Each structure stands twice: as structure tokens, then as C-alpha cells.
Structure 1
């Protein structure tokens, strides 16, 4: 018998080596696919706006279709009361807990929750956040139907619905109040309907934590969420602000997340124009009241709903005063519109720093809107102005080392720079803002009298908003920050919050054909001198929010929410300040409008503004230990959602046998209209995810190469046994 020892010739390895690049590429492709949080579950067949129930015994998901989402808006004067209704049905054969995230306007005062199952209705109550979680968890374990609504951001909320029986339908209704804005003689109301995925900066705070998707979702506690992102050092609640699945594509022709909209508008004055900017609406009128409904009945929830109305010439208010009585206490909302007093020769030279977001969330129509906005911004520069352009995604790049004169040469360079901007990468805003606020002018130039204005063009798709607000307040200096919201569903809370911290204002550009009008309005307003040092003197002691009136720009009104106590004041109030460098004052009789009637929602708006003002102190010097009790007192008294309170609704009847398994899963949103497909996300480490994957494979290739080259050639020996 021959006992032969066979050794593969070393030369055979060299035959395999040419194929290694292809193999490495295939490995990289597999790594990229596995690194995408959007592919944590087989989501190709899952549509947006569907409650996702996990199928027991597999990693697949079965969709429980959203039957309908309904937005009912009642507007009186400049206050809107909105009811958001969403109906879901469990189409699986097992008990389910649904978890879904949804946006609301950042200024919305959420004041009512109702859960309906069949003919049974359960009203929710506001409780301290941890207490609400405990009550919900106890009901969830006991088999009782329950709903829990929590605020994750001022414009982002999470709803959990426990113990939905197979084939059962559940309806959740939220009611909130929001004010209409008023600028340049036009009212506007904007309501978000979907989420733009937020970028999560920072290194993971939970290294080694298992991915909690698929079958593991059933064991999630009430303190855990199904977000695609895990907590990081800079965003410790990343899992709460990122839904399980990236938004899915939908359309009005075949909506995956259908929504109906009904509006009842009573402006209290004759109107010259009423229009919905992004939806086709049918309009009817009865006297001075207007009713609007969607022309086709339903639409896809893939862009913000915005309604605008303009009074007829001569009917636009110079002042308005709205009141409401709640529990024996009187509240008011004041609006005063200063006159526009500006001469062209009064406009100072400017130093304008344009910051443009080129991250992955800007892909598609948003980056084109941003380029067009910046193109118009460059065109409005005057020879006496200075400027610079800063682009950012994962990195920050400035066109010039310092602000340059706006002559033909430098503007042409900037135009070419803008033309080659494309979307991709992460959204690292902080370095870009720090670069923009850095004054790099020479001493001679710094001595010149110039208005320093930073125009920030972005969709605001970040989760570290508070970190950015703090940085803006700390580093702003003499600059002013103006934000331009881009896309169908920008992060309104960030856009407005950044502008407030930067002592500027925000505008929105949601469609290409809006760029010219919106950017023109922006530059017309920031060119005008400020209405500064404003103060309001009331005829009696009041609690007004904001307590200090901010500077105003041309066409922008003064707004204050007021608590009077147990009696309305009589007489008149005095508004005064510096307008175009000159002293200005106006006396206003305290007569409620419109028509002397009370305005539902005014008290809720006052409470919401007080909570916002209290929370803003956290970024300055106040401690959470001092602010939290004050916020809780207001939120519990007025039954409002806040960072420290939640809505919980519990049905006393036990529905599910505690021995029956309960599955937990999430609801994705519709991708914002016009936004390109998002690139894959990678862990945030010392190097980028793609770099780690490539370097790992390259190191493996080098190790294999060295191993092959160092192997000695061996003779093949045959021995006879």
C-alpha cells in the first residue's frame, strides 16, 4: 500500500492571487450590505405608513395596513387647534405592541390623547415621564390595552400601543395647539407629516450591545426603542429618535401612508388669497369662513402641509390681542407689527458667510434646491460686501481662508465652487458652524462697520440639536445666524431653534419654484435695520413669555403670550423701542380679537412658551434640578407633553391572557418627497466605516501574501509501507 503525503505546490497560490481583488470586492460588498441599519430586517416588501408586526418563528415582517390618517385643522384668528387621528389594524394572528415615531410642529402644545378600540374610548392623562412609563409597563404586562406618548424632541414623538388583539383595530387621536406665523402681511401654518432620518454623530456609548431587531424585538422593555441607531456619547437617546426602518418610498397615486386633510379657517378678517403650497385642495367659502379638503381625498404623507392666507389690502392687522379663560385664569396672546422704516442708504455693508449642507440626506431635489438658493445668494451681493462659502458633510471645506470682497472675480470662483457641489457623507454640522463664526478678517477690516451674517442652508437632519444650540450661543459673537430649511420635511425644530439662538430667523424652501421668492424674502428682510430694544408695558402685573422681546426684522411681528391671573386688564398697553435707529412707540387698547370672542388654545400656547423659555435656560447657566420642577408644574397643570411628562391611556379591562405572547414592532415613515435614497450608514469610529472595512480586507490580503511568500517549497515524497 502506498502511503503518499501530498503538498499543494506553492506556485498554485500565485494562480489564485489574481482573483483576490475580486474576492475582496465581494467581501466589501457583503460588509456594506450588512452594515446598513436599513437592512437589519428584510424590508423590501414593507411600505411606509404600515404598522409592522413580527411574524413568530421567522425574521420576516407582516404589514398591518394603516387604514387612514386624518388631519383636522380649525383656525381662528392666528391660533390653530389640530387633531391628528391614526387608525391601525393588527392583521396577524398574535397579540401585538406597536411602536411608531411621528413629527409635530416644534411649537405645538400637545394637550389631549384618546385611544379608541371598537366602541370603547379611553382618555389619556399627563403624568410625570417615569411614572407614565411604569403605569404603561404594568398595564402591558397585565394584558390591558394601553397607549403611551412620549416627547423625544420638541418636534418628534413616540407612541406605543400595547395588547392589540389579532384582527383588532385601534385608533389614536392627539390634539394640539399651534400658532400661525405672520410675516410681511401673510399668515402661514406648517404641519410636518414625515421624518427626515437624523444623522447620529459620536462614538457608540454601548459597545458590544447586540442588535435588537428581528426576533429579539419581542423582549424589549418600555425603556427601549426600535431605532436603527444605537446611543452614542453625543446622542445618548439615538435609539429613541431613529425609527427601526429608514423611510420608504410612496406617492399620491398609490399612497403607502394615506392621509386626509380638512381645514376650517376663520381669519377674522376678509382675505385676498388662501393657498396650500404643496397639496391640491378644494376650497369653499361661507362668509368669512373657508373650508379646504384634499382634491383627491387622500395624499401620501411625504411632505409638510403648509397653508397660507393673506388679508385684503387695508385689512392686515397692525396689532391683535386674543384671550382665553381656563379654570378661572385669564391668558392672552399679543401680536404687534412695527411699521417698515428703512432707506436704501441706511443699509450697512455686510459680511455674509454662506454655509451649505452637502450630506447624504440632501441627495435628490434638496441639493438642487440648496445650489439654486446659494446661486441667488451670491447674485444679491453688492461690491461693498464681503463673503465666503463653506460646504460640509463628513468634512468641512471653506472656499476662501477668509471673507473676500464680493467683486466679479471672487463671485465667479464661488459660482464655480457651488456648481460642483454634490450630496454624500455624514452631517457633521458642529465644525462647519465653528468655522462660520470664526472672524478671520484683518484688524483693519474688523474695524469697519459691517453686519456679519451667517446664512445656513440645510435640512437639519441631525439628532444632536441641543449640542448645536449650545455651540451657537457660545460662539456666535457679533454674528447673526439665519437658517434656510431645505426639502419636503426639514427638521423645523432645529431650523427655528438655531435661528433663535443665533438671533436671526428661518425660512423654508420646499420646492425648486420657491427658491427665488423665499431667498428674495430672506435677503430683503436681513438687509433692513433691526427693530431693537423692544419692551411691552402692561397696565397690570403679568407673566409674559418670552420675558425679553427679541430684535425684529422688517415685516416680522412682536409676539408675547401672557398670563393675567383671575381678571383681564383694562386700558391699554405701550410698546416701544428703537426702529431704524429712531425711538418708536405704539399704544394698543386691550380689546380681544376677533370680534371680542375668546380664542381656544391661547392658554395652552402660553404654557408651551413658558416651558420652552424654562428649557432654554439649561443652555445658559441653570441646572436641570432647578428647571425640571418648574417645567413639571406647568405641564401637569395644563396637561401638556414635555421632556418630563408623557401621556398615558389605560383601559381597565384585561384583554390578553398574560400567558399569551406579546410581540413588539415599529412603524416606518414615508421618505420625504424628492429626497434621494439614503446611503448606507456606518458606525462612527476613529475612522469611517468604509475605511475600516477596506483596511481590514487589505490587511487580510497582505497577511495571506506574506504567508504564501514565506512558505518553503517542499519536495513530494512517496514512501512504501
Structure 2
């Protein structure tokens, strides 16, 4: 956590010390102190679409004084942490779940009395950040910490299941006016992380495992049986902490509806969640094709784009384009793929927000061209990550009748008001569907998944060498599906068995996408008994249903995974209800229920923590306790930015920044408590790139870096580029991608026109194109057929990106009752050297 304030030379020195630390190899903390965390070992057990993760963290105190090691690290936002224990020598201490404040007090009391204690708690601000405190580790002592959690695996566009082990934790930006203290994160570049990681995964399913892919180097997949239903895979040696570890798991014919019934815990009381059987349904709805094909595509499409300073960072560390560049290209594809008759708008945000149109406008050639012109001018120059205000603005706009609102959110940010943002989306979930995209390493899984889950949409993550465009276009396909309404789940169970729903009501269904439902079964049934569940809904005014029948016999050896995931689902719902009704005089009833359920199930929550105290009769640990913050890896983008910031700071304050003295006096008191809201990494990056705030004076001459919740002011200049862009020599712009060059020429109607730009995009001269045109064929028909041939002949690897706009082109020709399609196809194949058949184009 960093803070740089004018007239605060101590903090200036601290900042420069940190920047020097970044550039020195082998330096472990800002004060050159050893880090007690030595290694992290991760073992993953994947069963179908659920993963159990066991992490072992090995600590060793090589100093001559007792230590308290504090480690702030990321976990998946929907993970259910269900076990925490410590082993010191031959003594194992298993933690209990207790109310958070009670656990903290017990931890502090243990340390003050010289006993060893271990505390694990979820951040108050975001469920994907945890803090682990290892207290009173004596000199020369070692400790092994075991952390276990279970998590669901998300279904990807290509039907793979995504498992992600978060490694990168970029410090979170604290929006202006947000409550609470930000999580204090000690981040260092991947090359300076002093501990190692070993990772292995075991995959098993009722269906064969076809392949496992990763964004990190893996050892070859090893099958454990001839049926290939079990396999293991390991992370290759030498992994660096410059990215999250992602596995994509593919089963043969995996995405079929399934049900797993898990027996309750033998020691738990019948009638309770942990004492009764729990069923987990995995539903994959199949919509009637006749209904799907008969529905006209329409809607109001609102694209919310992050233009904070960090969007100027590269997608990865291998010469990939900047995030903002990729986002601009994606918006081009999106705008070209929208159906005629819909409405749209583009809103971008940073420390403030801007919209292309005051309200959504009808999609036409004129409005599309106007929007694309503005998109081309967009840069990562709007400062911080203030996502809440533009969302409020969007929801303040009245919905357009018969045009269902579809919100697309693009951000690489991590914010401290995650829960507030998600609550706002849920509050407005009845008026729209929200599709979210996390860009780059370290994007908050709680934010991205929460936006989509509460907004009834779909979440995607773009990391490493991933291309943004195919993932976004997959979500556009979902958005173009008709909204499913009147969803209900009906249970048919044997006499004497009752059901209690544990999942919130299903609010969204998409063709072929999974929905998970948890329910508690109370009562007795024979092992041969069966149950059925029927999901009913209305699609395009027609009632439809999908049914699944399953055995009530409990599955063997599930390790209470289903119960814990069900508990986590119920806990999250209760937490959200507690936030919604806070201050309404209910006396914290929902909070009390969360604590009770968390303690009963042994699953973490926002209001509880895991606490373990070594109560053996050993001697009390003597001497003052020294705190050591264990660093987490920051993304490549963040660390490279810090290097450049160090150069600027060491050469003195940048002359083009001015400080508004009145604002400084308002936000920075002499009380250290007020300035303890440290500047977060993304906030530093973003605020350094922010533009002038319209409300502020510009004639004060003092320089200052403000804390992360306030604006940094920049003088107007001839160009409007960020500090990062001004401080480096712009490389020669690479030639535009041929696909995007062709797409950029398409009209809103879906057709192309015959002109020199199209000929160039096809790699031909205007004379060649004119010469091969059939005499009786209209020029636009000829141009459109050529574009379609080129796409199918040379760009099949990118079909997911252009498929929708190609379908629009075919629809355009059909609407015109275009003549000469066959002749144009034959002539176009000859000109372009292809062999594309008429039926492939969709005619």
C-alpha cells in the first residue's frame, strides 16, 4: 500500500524505497526482511463440475525473534472455505468457525499470553480476498498450514469447465465516498515472490476426460484407468507467479443434466442442513428449435467500458495489444453484429463517466458510424475505477418498451465496494440482464461473477493470450436469445420426503448453459426410490419444460462437498438480504442466521472467521512479537507500471500535475487515521492518468499525489494521452488485423458496398474486383458475397467472432430478394481462389 503526499518527506522516502525494491532482484520486503512463507503446495480434486482444493502453506521463522506472519491472498469469489488447520511439529490444531469479532479477540488474547494462534478471515469488502494470520511463530520454528475449500467450475463458451487458482492480487481501488478501510495488500512483482508453488490436479468423471488445457505449462496428462475417466496433471516446474493458474477441463458428452444426492453428516442432527441429505441438480435446458428460430432479435444493448488508467496495460507480457485496444476492436465487432431495429449506447468510465448518446438510440447506419468514431478516440485516460456511478446512471434511464435491456460490462479493475456494486445490480435485475468480462490477471472474480449472477447473465474472464472477441461474441449470442420468464422448479418426491430449496430462484436460462440448484431432503425413503424435478418456463410466449429423474440413493465418498456448496449458496443469499435490510430495525436477524449456519456447516462467511489456538502446556513464547507481511504477486502490468513510476518520482514531481489546495485540506487531515486509506495500486495507476475534474480550480501550483479515493489533476495539453503514454516512445502502429479491416467496412444493414477499401481488404485491386463481377448482379450483392466468401475461405479459425455479422449479411440479401447469388458465388470463388459452397453461406 502506497501513499505519496506533498510535505510528507517520510512517505516520499518510503515510496522511493518501495520503487527501488521493485527493481532489485532477491529483495523480499521493503525493509529487506526475510519472508516466513517458504512454499505453497496445492492439490485439486475435480469431480465432474465441482473442485475440492487443498492448499498447504509452509512457514519457517529464520529470525531471532518471534513473528506474526500476515498473508492477504485471493480465492475464487464463490469458494466455500471449509477447513483450516495448523501443524507445528507433531501437533495438529484444527480451527473452529466463530463469530468474526469473537475470533479476533480470541486470537489477540492468545498472542498476548504468549500462545500460538492462527486466524483466517474473509475480507469485509469482497468475498474473494482472505487474510491469514500466523501468530507467535518462535525463532527456528516451522508451521504447516492447511486450507481447504470447494468451488463450482464455470462452463465456458466451448463447453469446457474452467478451474482457476487465483495467484495475482492487485491491490483494490477504493472509490470516493466508499465506507470502510481498504484491505492492505503487500504486492510485489512475480520475480520477487520468495516462495514456490507446486500444483497437481486429479480429475474424475462418469464420462471420459478428453483433454485438460492450461494457461501455464503442464506436464503431460496421465490417465489412471483404461476408460480414461480418471486422470492427473501437474504444473511444470519453474512456474512464476505472474498469472492465475487456469485449467480448462473437457469431458466427452459431459453437459447432460445430472443429479447428485449426498448423505448428511452422521454426527449432525437430522432436520438440519448438515444432518439431512442434500441434492445438487445440474440443469442444461434445451429450448424447442421452432421457438428459437421464430423469435426476432431485438433489445437495448448498453456497453459499459472501463477506461481507467490500468486499461492502458498490455493484455499479457508477450507483445500483446493494450487492453483498451482489444476493447475497441471488440466494440467494433459488437456494433457490426447488432440486429437492425435494436437500440444501443456506449458508456465509458474512470473517475467520471461519459456516454456517446444521452440515452440509448435506435441502431442505424448513422448512429453506428457516430458511435464507432467515438470508440476509435477512446483511450485509457479517465482515471480511477468508479463503476458504481455509471451503473446508477444506466438504471435511472427508463427501459424501452419491447426492447429488453442487455448490459455488457468490461473492466480490469478491482474495487473495494464490490458488494455495493453487486447489490445495485441485483436490485435492478428485473429490468435487464448483465454480462460481465474480467480483463487481465487479478480481475476480481467476486465482482465479475457477482455482476453476471445477480444480473441473470454470463461471466467471462480474458487473461494471458486469450482473445477478448470470441468470448464477448459468445455472450452476445446469449443476449440475443429470448428472455425466459415465469421460471419455476417443481419437485416430485416419494411420500414421506419433503424438500427445502437452498438456492435462490432461477432468474435466467440460456440454451445449453448450466444452472445449479441445491435442495435439502427431509424424511426417509428406500434406496431404490427415485425423484423427479421439472423446470417450467415460458419462452416467446410458449410454455416449455425440462424434466430430470434421478435416484435418491446417496452417492458414495463425496466428503460433504455438496453440503458445503449448498451452505455457501444459502450463506451468500442471507448476507445479501442482510445488506438490503440493514438499518430497518430487524436487529441483525439475517446476520445471526448467517453466523449460525456458518458455524454449523464449518463454511466461511462475511461475519465469521476460522480461529485455532495452540492450548498445549508448552512454555509461553517470550519477547516482542514482530509482524511480517507476506507479499502476494502483482500482475505484470502493475509491476511494470511501478517501474516507470519510480523513474518519474526519482526525477522529481511531474510538472504537468497540479494540486488543488482546498481539496487537499478537505481530504487529508493531520490525523494519521484520515490518511490511512492508503493509495491502492490500481488507484495509483488510474489517478495518475486522470483528467481534470470539472469541479476543481486549476491555478494552484503545488504538486501532490492524493490518496486512492480522490482525484489527481492533470493540466490540459495538446494531446490527451496519459502519463504512461507520454513517458514512452510510441512504437510504430502495427497494420490493422485483416478481419477487423473487412468488418469495419460492413454497413449496419449487414451488407458491404463495392469500393476500393473493400478490394484492398480482400487483397485485390479495384480493377480485379470489377472485372470478375457478373454483369447482371447488383454491386452491393457482389460486394457482400465476396466478403462472405473471404470470411469462410480465410477466417474459419475466427468464426466465433464474425459468425453473427455474417448471418446478418445473409439476412440482408434475403430481405432484398437478391438476384445472382449463385453467379456471384462462382465468380467470387474464382477471384479469391476459394471453394465455398452456397449452403455453407446459409442460402
Give the TM-score normalised by the residue count of structure 1: 0.79
Matched, 1:159 2:144: no
1:489 to 439, 442, 447: 442
- CA deviations 1:578-621 (Å, max 9, x no partner) are 25332223332222699876464111111111111111212433
* Distance 1:426-1:435 versus aligned 2 partners, 3 A rule: same
Matched, 1:407 2:354: no
Structure 1 equivalent of residue 246 of structure 2 = 306
* Distance 1:364-1:267 versus aligned 2 partners, 3 A rule: same
> 2-side partners of 1:189 and 1:375: how far apart?
30
> 2-side partners of 1:151 and 1:529: how far apart?
38
- CA deviations 1:171-209 (Å, max 9, x no partner) are 211011112233564322223122122111235xxxxxx
- CA deviations 1:510-531 (Å, max 9, x no partner) are 1453323211211111111233
Contact kept, 8 Å, 1:48 with 1:667, in 2: the verdict is no
User: Residue 416 of structure 1: CA displacement?
Assistant: 3.5
Matched, 1:556 2:513: yes
User: Residue 636 of structure 1: CA displacement?
Assistant: 0.8
> 1-side partners of 2:91 and 2:165: how far apart?
29
Contact kept, 8 Å, 1:90 with 1:168, in 2: the verdict is yes
Gapped regions of structure 2 (runs ≥ 5): 267-274, 315-322, 650-658, 669-686, 705-843
Matched, 1:388 2:345: yes
Contact kept, 8 Å, 2:86 with 2:143, in 1: the verdict is yes
Contact kept, 8 Å, 1:51 with 1:88, in 2: the verdict is no
* Distance 1:518-1:85 versus aligned 2 partners, 3 A rule: same
Structure 1 equivalent of residue 589 of structure 2 = 626
Contact kept, 8 Å, 1:271 with 1:310, in 2: the verdict is yes
User: Residue 281 of structure 1: CA displacement?
Assistant: 4.3
Matched, 1:199 2:168: no
Matched pairs, number: 625
- CA deviations 1:457-505 (Å, max 9, x no partner) are 0124110122222333445562222211111221111112222332322
Structure 1 equivalent of residue 281 of structure 2 = 334
Most deviating of 614-623 and 76-85: 614-623
Structure 2 equivalent of residue 273 of structure 1 = 211
Contact kept, 8 Å, 1:325 with 1:598, in 2: the verdict is no
1:63 to 20, 28, 34: 34
Q: SS of the counterpart of 1:347?
A: coil
Give the alignment of 1:508-587 within 5 angstroms: 508-538=461-491, 539=493, 540-565=497-522, 567=524, 570-581=529-540, 582-587=542-547
Contact kept, 8 Å, 1:326 with 1:603, in 2: the verdict is no
User: Residue 656 of structure 1: CA displacement?
Assistant: 7.3
Contact kept, 8 Å, 2:76 with 2:446, in 1: the verdict is yes
* Distance 1:131-1:420 versus aligned 2 partners, 3 A rule: same
2:85 to 104, 111, 114: 114
Q: SS of the counterpart of 2:21?
A: coil
Matched, 1:77 2:48: yes
> 1-side partners of 2:332 and 2:278: how far apart?
45
* Distance 1:52-1:544 versus aligned 2 partners, 3 A rule: farther
1:435 to 383, 393, 408: 393
1:237 to 181, 184, 188: 181
User: Residue 155 of structure 1: CA displacement?
Assistant: 1.1
Q: SS of the counterpart of 2:250?
A: strand
> 2-side partners of 1:375 and 1:154: how far apart?
34
| Larger fraction in helix | 2
Structure 1 equivalent of residue 623 of structure 2 = 660
2:161 to 187, 209, 229: 187
Structure 2 equivalent of residue 677 of structure 1 = 641
Contact kept, 8 Å, 2:36 with 2:69, in 1: the verdict is no
| Larger fraction in strand | 1
Contact kept, 8 Å, 1:49 with 1:667, in 2: the verdict is no
Contact kept, 8 Å, 1:356 with 1:456, in 2: the verdict is yes
Contact kept, 8 Å, 1:48 with 1:257, in 2: the verdict is no
Over the residues paired in the alignment, what is the CA RMSD in angstroms?
A: 3.5
Structure 1 equivalent of residue 760 of structure 2 = none
User: Residue 687 of structure 1: CA displacement?
Assistant: 8.2
Q: SS of the counterpart of 2:104?
A: helix
- CA deviations 1:281-326 (Å, max 9, x no partner) are 431112211101012x24223322222223324x532333342431
* Distance 1:286-1:698 versus aligned 2 partners, 3 A rule: closer
> 2-side partners of 1:524 and 1:472: how far apart?
21
- CA deviations 1:193-243 (Å, max 9, x no partner) are 22122111235xxxxxxxxxxxxxxxxxxxxxxxxxxxxxx22132xx231
> 1-side partners of 2:450 and 2:255: how far apart?
28
User: Residue 82 of structure 1: CA displacement?
Assistant: 0.5
1:325 to 246, 264, 268: 264
User: Residue 101 of structure 1: CA displacement?
Assistant: 0.6
* Distance 1:50-1:85 versus aligned 2 partners, 3 A rule: farther
Q: SS of the counterpart of 1:480?
A: strand
> 2-side partners of 1:47 and 1:135: how far apart?
40
Gapped regions of structure 1 (runs ≥ 5): 1-27, 54-58, 204-233, 701-721
User: Residue 396 of structure 1: CA displacement?
Assistant: 0.6
Contact kept, 8 Å, 2:277 with 2:554, in 1: the verdict is no
Structure 2 equivalent of residue 590 of structure 1 = 550
User: Residue 648 of structure 1: CA displacement?
Assistant: 1.1
* Distance 1:475-1:549 versus aligned 2 partners, 3 A rule: closer
> 2-side partners of 1:324 and 1:648: how far apart?
28
